[in-house]
Amino acid sequence: MDNRTDPDRVLIFDTTLRDGEQSPGISLNTQEKLEIAQQLARLGVDVIEAGFPITSPGDFEAVQEIARRVHDPGPPVIAALARTHVADIDAAYNAVRDAPRPRIHVFISTSDIHIRHQLQTTREDVKGQARAAVAHAKQYLDDVEFSPMDATRAELEFTAEVCQIAIDEGATTINIPDTVGYTMPHEFEAYLRGLYELVPQLREIVLSVHCHDDLGLAVANSLAGLRAGARQVECAVNGIGERAGNASLEELVMLLHTRQAEIGLHTAANTREIARSSRLVSRLTGYPVQPNKAIVGRNAFAHESGIHQDGVLKERTTYEIMDATTVGLEANSIVLGKHSGRHALQQALSELGFELTGQSLSTAFKRFKDIADKKKHVTAMDLEALVTDELREELAGYQLEWFDVEASSRRPPHATVGVRAPDGEELTGSFTGDGPVDAIFRAINAATGTEVRLREFRVDAVTGGQDALGETSVVLELAGGASGEPVIGAGQGVSTDILEAAGRAYVRALSSAVRHRELGLPAPGDAEREAPVAQPVTAS
């Protein structure tokens, strides 16, 4: 049941793959985006904004794949973003047209600061562009969303005029973005109530909100939007997105779930898929989740003080307002060991949502056996890490074949590596570095003949315990991008051996940067910044 038949139903519009992917350093390829989209569908989001197809052939392809393949468990709406340009709208339509429920999402700014300085045009022209763009999108699809960008810094009356135009042309959702995270809850609520007064027809369609977190108010502002009457919230897993990010999906869903008696609204999200969605997005984007992050941080359900521990042991609700199993933490009891067979692994992976057969199952089984030899219990989280790691291995251009490191506290460490190039040739390189990880990274540079600057390196443990799998994350800059700027690449690696995990992450980051450089793509996250200034659109 959607919110046309149930007025208390809030639609979850997930923009992890569009606004979220605009975070600096994030660069997801088609396979990774598909993996996230499939998980979002399992999580039960209503709309997946899969990308901004005009920005690159890679983005177009990813949106198209998602539109064609993400149909279960009940097809979510697949949306694609477009400026008011005809070419943007055509690309968006062509990318989503094969989805069972496609949507085009058109935006143009209504604030004077954007109209004057970024668009360098006039209010009259913005009205014309909005009218022509929605009409053009409407020729293709019934489901058209319109966003007046930077609305919260725009004059209410002008935004209302533009929204009325979009509705007149057939927009079925009007989304009000707090693009720069500037508004406050009471102000936003009043703004939206004012909008309803000026545009009564808003009550016949879906009002949506899209809040950024620059002042840490994205979730509070989204809630204010719902109080004013909005019934769609735009959000991202782990709150990723431009600058400080978007409203966090898990916080919004759990807020509506936990305080339902008070708020009186509900979503169709399957809360038990939240933790898994968070881990997948963090792993594939390379963006860690802060330990104290609400709902999905590793301390969100941990109790440190003696008084709290005592209380929780006596009665969980003394210090917990949510049950960890409701968000999918500790929900999975899968534990495999070195005696577990291929079938047990396949079964366990299937429970986690990975359907592996043939060669992929054999490869996963081999990796599982390697890990089970070193680690007594292989848990659901280990398996998830392992399978996502294998997925990346299949996609990487370069592969780390082997490495030798000599490390000592008495002389500088020396590393030699063997790297398989995309054309199959084995390249070797050596380097004496400041530390063993540095020596491996620079030996990889020597083997591949690349000039790279390391931006970030992080090590995390997948689970607790001394024998935990190590998960590493690398962000690097490769010289020689199309615009003369370096190209950014991000990669992750998983292994019981931290040095191996680091080497894997590094070659994957390098492969991603080389791929971007060859395709002449903008650095990840540059899509909107590099988009040409909007020109008046002539209606076709």
Which residues contact ligand KIV (rule: CB under 6 A)?
19, 107, 147, 149, 177, 179, 210, 212
Q: What contacts 421, CB < 8 A, 6 or more positions away?
A: 397, 398, 427, 448
Tokens 């399957």 locate to: 270
Shortest Å, Cβ 212 to Zn ion: 6
List, in sequence order, every beta strand (DSSP E) within 110-243: 144-149, 173-178, 206-211, 232-235
> Minimum CB separation from Zn ion for residue 339, in Å?
50
Q: Which does 191 bind (CB under 5 to 8 A by kind): Zn ion, ligand KIV, none?
A: none
* Residue 388 interacts with which of Zn ion, ligand KIV, none, CB < 5 to 8 Å by class: none
Q: Choosing among ligand KIV, Zn ion, none, which partner's interface includes residue 522 (Cβ < 5 to 8 Å by kind)?
A: none
d(CA 72, CA 38): 8
CA 75 to the chain's CA centroid: 19
Q: Which residues of 401-440 are buried (b: 16+ CB within 10 A; e: fewer)?
A: eebebeeeeeeebbbbbbbbeeeeeebebebebeebbbbb
Nearer to ligand KIV, 212 or 515 (CB): 212
Spell out a b/e string for 129-159, using b for 16 or more CB atoms within 10 Å of the CB, else e: bbbbbbbbbbebbebbbbbbbbbbbbebebb
Residue 107 binds which of Zn ion, ligand KIV, none (CB < 5-8 A, kind-dependent): ligand KIV
Q: How far is the CB of 113 from ligand KIV (least distance, A)?
A: 13
In the block, residue with structure tokens 């999906």: 249
Q: Measured from the CB atom, is 210 or 375 closer to ligand KIV?
A: 210
What minimum distance in Å lies between the beta carbon of 149 and Zn ion? 8
CB of 131 to ligand KIV, least distance (A): 18
Nearest approach in angstroms of CB 210 to ligand KIV is: 5
CB of 242 to ligand KIV, least distance (A): 6
Select the binding partner of residue 135 from ligand KIV, Zn ion, none (C-beta < 5 to 8 A, by kind): none
Q: Which is nearer to ligand KIV, 147 or 448 (CB)?
A: 147
β strands within 330-413, DSSP E:
335-336, 378-379, 399-406
Place of tokens 């309803």: 196
Q: Which helix (H) or strand (E) holds 527?
A: helix 527-530
Query: Which of Zn ion, ligand KIV, none does residue 165 bind (CB under 5 to 8 Å by kind)?
Result: none
Residue 147 interacts with, from Zn ion, ligand KIV, none (CB under 5-8 Å by kind): ligand KIV
Q: Are 145 and 208 in contact (CB under 8 A)?
A: yes
Question: Which of ligand KIV, Zn ion, none does residue 188 bind (CB under 5 to 8 Å by kind)?
Answer: none
Number of residues engaging Zn ion in binding (CB under 5 A): 1
Rank residues 82 and 254 by Cβ distance to ligand KIV and give the closer one.
82
Report the residue number, 19 or 169, with the smaller CB distance to Zn ion. 19
User: Which amino acid, one-letter code, is at 223?
Assistant: L
- Cα dihedral 354/357/363/365 (nearest 10): 70
Other CB atoms closer than 10 Å to residue 306's CB: what's the count?
8
Classified as helix, coil or strand, 340 is: coil
CB of residue 123 to Zn ion, shortest distance in Å: 22
Token readout for 1 is 């049941």
The residue among 212 and 293 lying less far from ligand KIV, judged by its C-beta, is 212
Q: Smaller CB distance to Zn ion: residue 249 or 348?
A: 249
Question: Which of these ranges, 14-22, 309-317, 479-487, 509-517, lies near Zn ion under the rule CB under 5 A?
Answer: 14-22
Nearer to ligand KIV, 81 or 372 (CB): 81
Q: Quick one: which of 179, 87, 86 has its CA closest to 134?
A: 86
Task: Give the tokens for residue 223.
Answer: 């809630």
Q: How many residues does the chain have?
A: 540
Least distance from ligand KIV to the Cβ atom of residue 515, Å: 26
17-36 binders of Zn ion (CB under 5 A): 19
Q: Check binding of 14 to Zn ion (CB under 5 A).
A: no
Closest to ligand KIV by CB, 232 or 340: 232
Beta carbon of residue 242, minimum distance to Zn ion (angstroms, whole number): 6
Pairing relationship of beta strands 102-109 and 144-149 according to DSSP bridges: parallel
**DSSP symbols for 82-139:** E-SSHHHHHHHHHHHTTSSSEEEEEEEE-SHHIIIIII-S-HHHHHHHHHHHHHHHHH
**Residue 19 or 384 with smaller CB distance to Zn ion:** 19
**DSSP-based three-state secondary structure for 121:** coil
Residues that bind Zn ion (CB under 5 A): 19
